[in-house]
Structure 1
Amino acid sequence: MSASLSPLPLDELPLRRVAHILSIDWSRLAASEARRLRELGFDEGVRIETLHRGGLFGRDPIAIRVGRMTVAIRRAVAAAVSVHPAS
């Protein structure tokens, strides 16, 4: 496996790159953030794509495609999601 296909946090996934969720560290998230991710369909194996990052400072929010939805999440929340880029 090449280094570019190694697991990485969602906040580091390059733009327009498709990946699958490996795991979510629920303990790093507030209860409301965890509930929102679950409601939006974030779960192991789900296909996602990073579409856009916000302004220069902090790069918040991050726009993510989950299935046919586009959602915005904070970078700190995305950092709790481990993904594996699709080959």
Structure 2
Amino acid sequence: MRLSDAPKGAQAVVQTVTDAHPADLIAQRLRDLGFVAGEPVKLVARGPVGGDPVLIQIGSTRFALRRTEAERVEVTVEGVA
């Protein structure tokens, strides 16, 4: 599941960050920020219009990501098969 599609409040684990194209700087920056395989994340909140931006928490750090950025992060949501 894409992080952008996870339900609000969902606890998830990062599986991978997908590059949109070769040398994708945004995907690399997401990995640099801690969006790496096995890292637990939580979708804290969504923006009011179209769900943009989304507020993501990794550990005690929170990030506001555009929906298009969150779409690059593949996760497994806890409790969802």
Which category describes the TM-score, using the shorter chain as reference length?
A: 0.7 to 0.9
* Structure 1 portions without partners, runs of 5+: 1-7
* Structure 2 portions without partners, runs of 5+: none
Calculate the TM-score normalised by the size of structure 1: 0.79
Pick aligned residue for 1:14 from 7, 19, 43:
7
Q: Equivalent pairs: percent with the same residue?
A: 31
CA RMSD of aligned residues (A): 1.6
Conservation of the 8 A alpha-carbon contact between 2:18 and 2:27: no
Pick aligned residue for 2:74 from 50, 68, 82:
82
**Distance in 1 between residues matched to 2:48 and 2:34, nearest whole Å:** 26
Greater helix content = 1
**Distance in 1 between residues matched to 2:68 and 2:41, nearest whole Å:** 17
Deviation digits for residues 3-40 of structure 1, max 9, x if unmatched? xxxxx110010011100011110235841x22431232
